[in-house]
C-alpha cells in the first residue's frame, strides 16, 4: 500500500471502531457485521445463537457488568422500537 492508501485505510478503520464504540442504548445489544466487514478477509461469520433462556442470562450479565464498569453512565430509558 502506498502512503495515501494506508492513511485512507487507517481512517476507515478508525471510523468503524468509533461508530461501534459510540453505540449506546439498545444498539449495544446488536450483531455487528458492519464492524467485521472492515477486515480485509471477507467471510460469512458462522454464528451460533444460544437458546433464549441462556441468551437472556447473558444479556443480564452484560447489563450488570455495565453497572460495575460504568456506574456513572446516564440511563437510556426508551423502549426498543425496531
**pLDDT digits 0-9 by tens, 6-39:** 999 999 999 999 998 898 888 877 888 888 889 9
How far apart CA 29 and CA 57 sit, in angstroms, is 13
How far apart CA 65 and CA 71 sit, in angstroms, is 9
**Residue 11 and residue 3 in contact, taking contact as beta carbons nearer than 8 Å:** no
C-alpha closest to that of 20 among 35, 30, 6: 35
Residue-wise pLDDT for 44-78, tens only, equals 878 899 999 999 999 999 999 999 999 999 999 99
Q: What is the pLDDT of residue 77?
A: 94
Q: What is the pLDDT of residue 2?
A: 96
How far apart CA 56 and CA 9 sit, in angstroms, is 37
Q: What is this structure's pTM?
A: 0.66
Lookup result for grid cell 500500500: 1
Phi then psi for residue 63, to 5 deg, are -65, -40
Amino acid at each position: 500500500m502506498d502512503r495515501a492508501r494506508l492513511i485512507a485505510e487507517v481512517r476507515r478503520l478508525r471510523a468503524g471502531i468509533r461508530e461501534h464504540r459510540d453505540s449506546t442504548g439498545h444498539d449495544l445489544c446488536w450483531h455487528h457485521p458492519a464492524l467485521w466487514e472492515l477486515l480485509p478477509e471477507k467471510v460469512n461469520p458462522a454464528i451460533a445463537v444460544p437458546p433464549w433462556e441462556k441468551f437472556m442470562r447473558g444479556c443480564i450479565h452484560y447489563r450488570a457488568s455495565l453497572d460495575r464498569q460504568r456506574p456513572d453512565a446516564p440511563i437510556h430509558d426508551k423502549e426498543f422500537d425496531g
